[in-house]
Structure 1
């Protein structure tokens, strides 16, 4: 079953945006790291239901502009349009290979799996891979972590709050069912650690709950 992994927020100044969010919602914020191959860096807020928010910014525009990573392309376009805020989210799987096989059999186009890595503040290396189903709508990407998930070494930095729900007004429900092989009744999609709600407001948003 898929789970909420993280929500990506485009932020020209990730530190400032994350700090403001932390002050508003009484959340602890931690510095993430740099993605050297993509020219990006992040700040993070972790939550007790095994997911997090990522404030993603660019430290090297030339590298970011040349990236073929669909997420970085989204980020670049958002900044070109002077947009900040939630732009994407990741759903976590522990079985990416079967998903790749399924999409291949369906002759469904996708980008990836794209490998990612960064050095954590404690010097350890974090690795993951991402799959981007190609869609006319903004479709969430799928992430699978390596030997360790993206959680802080110090559990004191995990906020006693949950991302209860993601509200997505950009996704196509029929396409979601086709790609994920999840049958959906109504507009609420149960996930391992929350739910995804399909809305009609043409926005991407989320709900926190204590």
Structure 2
């Protein structure tokens, strides 16, 4: 069993990411913290029970990590895109049985890494690069204790639908199905890969955030 845990907005800086969220969703995300050793920090926006939006950016106060930052933040193409403006870059799915999923998927699941921020702790498995279908296949997370969403005030912004487009939609569908996520995304074939999150603001306005 797996379900959406959060969507990820990449930004060059947290200040730019927060301004983008205010512009498009009408509310400012709350400070999160540092991911020590991973070279990133974040801000968070509660989207109701069990779901949130994460704004993530390189942390200038941390040394460059020994491994690439998560969600392709060190990729030259993405870094160039984020120079223009923040954008949706990924999503993360929550599972209570991460070890069982990883054992079943083998190398396709990626390496499990332990992470923490303050007194929050969790384990994540990021799909290997070039097997994540342009970040359409989510990282899997298992929280150790309560998750981040339980501590966030409700912004009253709601995630209505998560959509994906990819030239090989069948391969994306199969990869999602083996993670128990076949019904989570609205998926269609398209010449270009793209992730789209459709959200509703407090005032009822619907907004689409996209990876491209």
Q: TM-score w.r.t. structure 2 length? A: 0.76
Any runs of at least 4 consecutive aligned residues in structure 1 with deviations exceeding 6 A, and if so which?
none
Structure 1 stretch displaced more, 173-182 or 31-40: 173-182
Residue aligning to 1:7: 7
Secondary structure of residue in 1 paired with 2:20: helix
Residue aligning to 1:190: 183
User: Out of 171, 174, 178, which is 1:174 matched to?
Assistant: 171
1:90-137 Cα shifts (integer Å, max 9, x gaps) = 111111111012113xxx434221111011xxxxx1101111233162
Secondary structure of residue in 2 paired with 1:133: coil
State the Cα distance separating 1:34 from its structure 2 match.
Answer: 0.7
* Whole-Å separation in 2 of the counterparts to 1:167 and 1:64: 33
The alignment's C-alpha RMSD in Å is: 2.7
Instruction: Say yes or no: does 1:127 pair with 2:124.
Output: no
Residue aligning to 2:55: 55
State the Cα distance separating 1:68 from its structure 2 match.
Answer: 4.6
| 8 Å contact from structure 2 (residues 2, 180) kept in 1 | no
User: 1:33 and 1:152, CA in 2 relative to 1: closer, same or farther beyond 3 A?
Assistant: farther
Structure 1 stretch displaced more, 173-182 or 110-119: 173-182
State the Cα distance separating 1:175 from its structure 2 match.
Answer: 4.5
Which structure carries more strand by proportion? Answer: 1
User: Out of 147, 150, 161, which is 2:148 matched to?
Assistant: 150
* Whole-Å separation in 2 of the counterparts to 1:202 and 1:178: 15
Residue aligning to 1:99: 101
* Whole-Å separation in 1 of the counterparts to 2:180 and 2:40: 36
User: 1:100 and 1:182, CA in 2 relative to 1: closer, same or farther beyond 3 A?
Assistant: closer
User: Out of 163, 175, 199, which is 1:208 matched to?
Assistant: 199
* Whole-Å separation in 1 of the counterparts to 2:179 and 2:123: 22
- Unmatched runs of 5 consecutive residues or more in structure 2: 205-212
- Unmatched runs of 5 consecutive residues or more in structure 1: 120-124
